[in-house]
Amino acid sequence: MADHNQSKRKRISHVTTGTQNSNNILSMLQRDAGVVGDGETARFVEGSILRITMKNFLTYDYSVVYPGPNLNMIVGANGTGKSSIVCAICLGLAGKTAILGRGDKVGLYVKRGCNKGFIEIELYKKDDNVVISREIYVENNKSVWMLNGKDSSQKVVEEKVKALQIQVGNLCQFLPQEKVGEFAKMSKVELLEATEKSVGPPEMYAYHCELKNFRGKERELENVVKEKTSFLEKARQRNERNKHDVNRYYEKKRHLDMIELLEKKKPWVEYETARQELEGVKREREEARKQLTSLKQAQAPMLKKIQMIDNQLKPIEAQIKAKTVNIKEASQKCKHKQDQLDRKHREIEDIKQALTLKQMEKEDHQKRISNTRRIIDDLKAELANIGEQPDVVPRIEAVNAELKRNQEERARVEGEKADLRREKDNLYAESKMLVKKLNDMNNMMNVKEEKLRGRHRDTHTAIQWLRKNRHLFTGNVYEPMMLVINVKDHQYAKYVENHISFHDLRAFVFQRKDEMEKFMSEVRDKLNLKVNSIFAPEESCSNRSPSRPIEALRRFGFFSYLREMFDAPDEVMSYLCHQYRVHDVPVGTEQTKAMIKTVIEEPYLKMLYTAEERYTVKRSLYSNKISTSNSAVHQSQYLNITVDAEEKRQLEQKIKTCEVKLKEIDERMKTLQQSAGALERRDNELREEKKRLSEQKGKKRQLEQKISTKQDSLRQMEHGGIDLRKIEEETKAKISAANSQKVSIVTEFMTQMKLRAKLSMEKVYLALETVGLTAEKTKLENDCREGAVELRTLDQVYNRLEQRKNQLTGICKGLMRRASEICNMDPGEAVPADLHTALSKLPDTLDEIDAMLNEERSRAECFTGLSENVVEEYTRREQEIKNLEKELDEKSNALNAYRQNISEAKERWLNPLKQLVDQINEKFSDFFRSMQCAGEVDLHSENEEEYDKYGIRIRVKFHSSTQLHELTAHHQSGGERSVSTMLYLMALQELNRCPFRVVDEINQGMDPINERRVFDIVVRTACKETTSQYFFITPKLLQNLEYAEEMTILCVHNGPQMLPPGQWDEKAFIRRKKSKA
């Protein structure tokens, strides 16, 4: 059970200005805690906290806190519940859990073992105090709100809190323990906004936001005006350029209209010209017809006689043609018979040639028989000569046996080579697979390295330096822990990462301290890199045994210690066992969480993990009672990429083994290749010897076979002779038959020759008759030739004129039709009066029209690249320009109005802001001067018109030898940042717009001198009558501090022997304390 004990003096309406030292604290504690009266509440600022009630909240079962109107000093040892009061203020006033930097779920703030918790805060308000109640349920993290005893919602509560100027999300008003370091990390812009909200007039921040919005809209309008001005100018320029094109377009159109009229008139002129020509041709044709008729009547008698001769010649010419055909047929038959005779001559010659060939074949046959007999005699002589040579069969058998042994040896060698090749292929495939696995592991390590570079670039730069300069170190040096720690199962990475601080995860680990100092000198001092490094304990702790074996904890759901969840080099593991006791921190499951009350009773467990939470267990040195704290286990960001180091080492070893085996196989293959070459050479030698012996053995048998073959061939030739006499008789019979056929052909040839001669004579008689008639016709034709020439000439003229008349008639019709079509007239329709008037003004000759057309076309062609789109675009852009000019006027007027509004808003915002910053700077500088240091606060802006870039810049100097430096998260030490933060908040305190401020353990990290100075400033400032309520939480205080009468000290105790709040007798406690003194 945790309880809260407070000591309060009776509140009075006046302010005691004097102070007293810490020896008189007991006198302050002697005052009774009474009900706040009307006179005393007058000292509270509206919105101040009058009462905080907590039930089943974090460390408290039930407690009520009554803060004072000025400085409230909340003191107590670590873990007693001081920060729980801060959490109650935040959550009770509808603040977010993220502000506290603890658990992200509101259910985590309910006391362990309880289903719900309760917070109630009473705020001072002149007419009627405001009471806000919040009941928190663990299940589903839900809350039930009440406002002044009535059901409400979180939104209504937030609005009520905001109306009282309470801002628990503003670090200038509410600075919890986990957010102290973030104050210095605030940007100048964020600090300005927080200051405006905290101490500025209510309308100041609204004016600032209004200015930023105005400026944003002004930029938008400026861009719009600029764009429209540019677009308008470009449109005007384009239209100015297009205006010339439009004028040229209309000039071209006038030429085109004239061309159209000329093209309409041209076919009418062509038609009239053709019609006049047609009339002239008709007159000429009629004159020619009359002359032709007169001449034909004069030539009629001679022409009749010539016609009679032509009638006689026609049958004679027909007979001549018939005779010519018959003569041709007779000639063809004669030629056919002549060809038959020639063929019979050739047939007789072929028969004689065949006989000659048979005679020559007979002579050749006799010669082959003689040659065969001579060859048989020679082979028999050779066979007799080789009959005495030795037997080679035993040697052949010996060679065969050796050849067989040699082949068996070659087969064995080839088998070994095949086995080695298969083994080599298998090893190569295995090596390739192992290299791929190793590359995959290295790629995973590269991902971890990239994550580190994104989070802390200086550390990554130091890694690159170490890799290039590792030869400078003799002992073991390891890259940051997060790169060398390898979690065996990625689901356990979150426990390891939550247990080891990021400060150490990015630290380099050294075996020797002197080499660590050498490394830090190089990278931190020379390269100006912010890195961390540690050195391992001299005596290795990596194999330390846990307090109890894990088997003894399995009944609670524990399954492993942290050390067993990851691999790391010995020096790294030794440091983690020594510093973080990873060998003695068990990890459990949901079963562990369900049994947590039993688990924390185990005396040897100081820290443990369940599935989603980390628990820290502390035991009181006085009462041996247990207090616990827990926090959520966040998901891993860096160690969830796991690489099994042992597997990686085994992979590297296997790859080396494969490489060695491959080299051995190559050597054995080389030896086997040499053996195979020697065996192949010996095999070739044995085969050559076997071939030679086999040839020697078979030579006699070959000779006997050849003799037998030749004798068979001789017998066949002797029985296969040619009968030459019979062939000669057959030849004579064939020649006699051919001569008989020749006689018959000659007879038929002579008959056709006689017929051809008779027909030729008859043709000659007919030709002589034809010559006589032709001579008479020629004489008549000569007599009338002169008249015939004139007649033909007149006939040709007449025909030509007839053709021209027909041609012109068609041309006139076509020209009439074409002229009507061009003028869009129906056939036979009269020319419209307006068109007739326009056409009458044009030339009436084709030459003039063509000349004028060419001229107009030439002028129109000068206007290139023009179309109706130019005119349309010009007209459309003219309208656009008018619209743009109107829009530009509207936007310009709107921009001027915005600028006027900005100017007015700037006056309303900037002048009060400068006065406010000057007031803060005056207080801040005074506080620093009282500490023999220097500090300044000013309004910073790179551009006066960029209202979202305005910020408050804090510059401090703690040493006389240095210059003023801007307060940042890196330049000053932690203690200096705490002092600067505290003094800035105190500078805001007297401006007193917010009803209260909360600062939690900001004095941690200060040196005693600065802490004492800051405490004095806090007491002097926060205890003035004009200041608002102030909560200062601290676990410790220096001795002999100066205190003020207006302070309220709230002492927080925690332990099993604490009395309930209702039973606490403050007077009895003081009496006992005095009696002991």
926-943 average pLDDT score = 79
Question: In 3-state terms, what secondary structure has residue 118?
Answer: strand
> Tokens at residue 195, please?
């200051």
What SS3 string covers 340-378?
Answer: HHHHHHHHHHHHHHHHHHHHHHHHHHHHHHHHHHHHHHH
Of 382, 366, 369, the closest CA to residue 705 belongs to 382
Q: Integer distance in angstroms from the first to the last C-alpha of the chain?
A: 30
668-693 average pLDDT score = 83
> Tokens at residue 1001, please?
């353990």
The stretches of 511-583 forming alpha helices (DSSP H) are 513-520, 570-580
Is residue 23 scored above 60 in pLDDT?
A: no
Long-range contacts of 958-962 (CB under 8 A, 24+ apart): 958/933
Pick from 376-390, 482-496, 933-947: least confident: 376-390
Question: Residue 888: is it exposed, middle or buried by C-beta count within 10 angstroms (0-12/13-18/19+)?
Answer: middle
CB atoms within 10 A of CB 157: 21
Is residue 17 scored above 50 in pLDDT?
A: no
At 828 the pLDDT is 66
Helices then strands, each counted (H, E), the chain: 27, 26
695-716 average pLDDT score = 74
pLDDT category of residue 42 using cuts at 50, 70 and 90: low
Pick from 173-182, 402-411, 577-586, 1065-1074: least confident: 173-182
pLDDT category of residue 184 using cuts at 50, 70 and 90: low
CB atoms within 10 A of CB 976: 22
At 866 the pLDDT is 61
At 1003 the pLDDT is 63
Cα three-residue angle 1061-1066-1071, rounded to 5 degrees: 150
- CA dihedral in degrees (455, 456, 459, 464; nearest 10)? 60
199-213 average pLDDT score = 71
Is residue 756 scored above 90 in pLDDT?
A: no
CB-based contact 992:48 (threshold 8 Å): no
- Selection from 565-569, 836-840, 889-893 with the highest mean pLDDT: 565-569
Q: List, in sequence order, every beta strand (DSSP E) within 124-194.
A: 130-137, 142-147, 150-152, 174-175
| One-character DSSP codes across 997-1037 | EEEESTTTT--HHHHHHHHHHHHHHHTSTTS-EEEEEES--
Pick from 178-192, 287-301, 315-329: least confident: 178-192
pLDDT category of residue 3 using cuts at 50, 70 and 90: very low
Of 928, 923, 934, 921, the closest CA to residue 960 belongs to 934
Cα dist. 187→184, 449, 952, 954, 988 in Å?
8, 29, 8, 10, 18
- Selection from 453-462, 509-518, 874-883 with the highest mean pLDDT: 509-518
523-540 average pLDDT score = 88
Strands 934-940 and 951-957: antiparallel
Is residue 279 scored above 80 in pLDDT?
A: yes
Q: Name the residue type at position 318.
A: A
Is residue 269 scored above 60 in pLDDT?
A: yes
- Selection from 185-199, 597-611, 640-654, 825-839 with the highest mean pLDDT: 597-611
Is residue 686 scored above 70 in pLDDT?
A: yes
- CA dihedral in degrees (679, 681, 685, 690; nearest 10)? 50
CB-based contact 805:285 (threshold 8 Å): yes
Contacting residues for 806 by C-beta, under 8 A, at least 6 apart: none
Pick from 6-15, 293-302, 483-492, 701-710: least confident: 6-15
At 180 the pLDDT is 59
CB-based contact 1070:30 (threshold 8 Å): yes
Mean pLDDT of the chain: 78
pLDDT category of residue 1016 using cuts at 50, 70 and 90: confident
Is residue 609 scored above 90 in pLDDT?
A: yes
DSSP conformation class of 141? G
pLDDT tens-digit readout, 938-970: 887 777 677 777 888 888 888 777 788 777 767
Distance CA 566, CA 493 (A): 8
Is residue 33 scored above 50 in pLDDT?
A: no
At 720 the pLDDT is 67
Distance CA 1071, CA 1067 (A): 6
Cα three-residue angle 337-342-343, rounded to 5 degrees: 95
Question: In 3-state terms, what secondary structure has residue 774?
Answer: helix
Is residue 536 scored above 80 in pLDDT?
A: yes
At 41 the pLDDT is 61
At 462 the pLDDT is 92
858-887 average pLDDT score = 71
pLDDT tens-digit readout, 328-365: 888 888 888 888 888 888 888 888 888 788 778 777 77
Is residue 1047 scored above 50 in pLDDT?
A: yes
- CA 734, 739, 740, 744 torsion: positive or negative? positive
Is residue 73 scored above 60 in pLDDT?
A: yes
> Tokens at residue 599, please?
């688990």
- CA 380, 384, 385, 391 torsion: positive or negative? positive
CB-based contact 19:1041 (threshold 8 Å): no
Of 411, 250, 120, 272, the closest CA to residue 839 belongs to 272
DSSP conformation class of 814? H
Pick from 323-337, 965-979, 1016-1030: least confident: 965-979
CB-based contact 242:235 (threshold 8 Å): no
Pick from 113-122, 369-378, 381-390: least confident: 381-390
pLDDT category of residue 185 using cuts at 50, 70 and 90: low
Is residue 648 scored above 60 in pLDDT?
A: yes
At 2 the pLDDT is 41
- CA dihedral in degrees (407, 409, 412, 416; nearest 10)? -120
Contacting residues for 11 by C-beta, under 8 A, at least 6 apart: 34, 36, 37, 40, 41, 43, 68, 69
At 864 the pLDDT is 67
400-418 average pLDDT score = 84
At 507 the pLDDT is 92
pLDDT category of residue 120 using cuts at 50, 70 and 90: very high
685-708 average pLDDT score = 74
Percent of the chain with pLDDT over 70: 83
Contacting residues for 493 by C-beta, under 8 A, at least 6 apart: 487, 636, 639, 640, 642
pLDDT category of residue 18 using cuts at 50, 70 and 90: very low
Q: List, in sequence order, every beta strand (DSSP E) within 658-746.
A: none
- Is the model's pTM score more than 0.85? no
Question: In 3-state terms, what secondary structure has residue 1064?
Answer: coil
Contacting residues for 545 by C-beta, under 8 A, at least 6 apart: 583
User: Which carries the bigger pLDDT value, residue 791 or residue 426?
Assistant: 426
Strands 586-587 and 566-567: unpaired
Pick from 2-16, 188-202, 888-902: least confident: 2-16
pLDDT category of residue 131 using cuts at 50, 70 and 90: very high
Distance CA 552, CA 599 (A): 12
